[in-house]
Amino acid sequence: MTSSGVNFATMDRFVGYHMKRAVNVVQADLDRTLKQFDLRLLTHSALVLIADNPGLRQTQLAAAMSLGRSNVVVIVDALEARHMVVRRPVPSDRRAYALTATMEGQRVCKLAVAAVQAHEARLFAGLDMRKRDVLVKSLSSLHISKEI
């Protein structure tokens, strides 16, 4: 039972549902945080990864974000349209593009990262560092399960 009077006996046993609901909460707050930069969750992740990895290829980005290549195209399109990212031809492989963040992209990225850090500090204030560490490590161990 909870304060709402609804019996969660069965649902409470399922970790996955807790995870999903928590992500909804976090993402709603994150969307508000990123709105001022006109970024969304995925465009922000992509921008950060490109800024941290100059020359990254789209297939690598897709793998890093656990997305399909086709979905990454749209994300990079959006960042390129706003002159935050450029696709450069790769001489050694003319099928591929090397992604790099422009000066503008780096500038927005830095501001957005600071805002997201503040958002996370606020949202996870109730968790001490040790619990936060267990949380992150537990979540990361699941990623690995998928990649195997």
Partner DNA sequence: TATTGTTATACTCTATAACTATA
Partner DNA sequence: TATAGTTATAGAGTATAACAATA
Residue 142 interacts with its own copies (CB under 8 A): yes or no: yes
d(CA 11, CA 121): 28
x/- map, 79-118, DNA, by CB under 7 A: --------x----xxxxxx---------------------
Contact 84/11 with Cβ under 8 angstroms? no
Two tokens at 78?
A: 């959006």
Residue 124 interacts with its own copies (CB under 8 A): yes or no: yes
Contact 75/43 with Cβ under 8 angstroms? yes
With contacts defined by CB under 8 A, name the span among 50-58, 69-77, 80-88, 90-98 that binds its own copies: 50-58
The torsion angles phi and psi of 100, rounded to 5 degrees, stand at -140, 150
Contact 57/90 with Cβ under 8 angstroms? yes
Positive or negative torsion for Cα 53, 120, 6, 142: positive
The whole-angstrom distance between residue 133's C-alpha and the CA centroid of its chain comes to 18
x/- map, 61-90, its own copies, by CB under 8 A: --xxxx------------------------
Residue 20 interacts with DNA (CB under 7 A): yes or no: yes
Using alpha carbons, select from 54, 49, 136, 70 the residue that is nearest to residue 41: 49
Indicate the residue among 41 and 134 with the shorter CB distance to DNA.
Answer: 41
Task: Using CB under 7 A, list all residues that contact DNA.
Answer: 20, 24, 28, 40-43, 57-59, 66-74, 76-77, 87, 92-97
Task: Using CB under 8 A, list all residues that contact its own copies.
Answer: 4-11, 13-28, 30, 41, 45, 48-49, 51-53, 56, 60, 63-66, 113, 116-117, 119-120, 123-124, 126-127, 131-132, 134-136, 138-143, 145-146
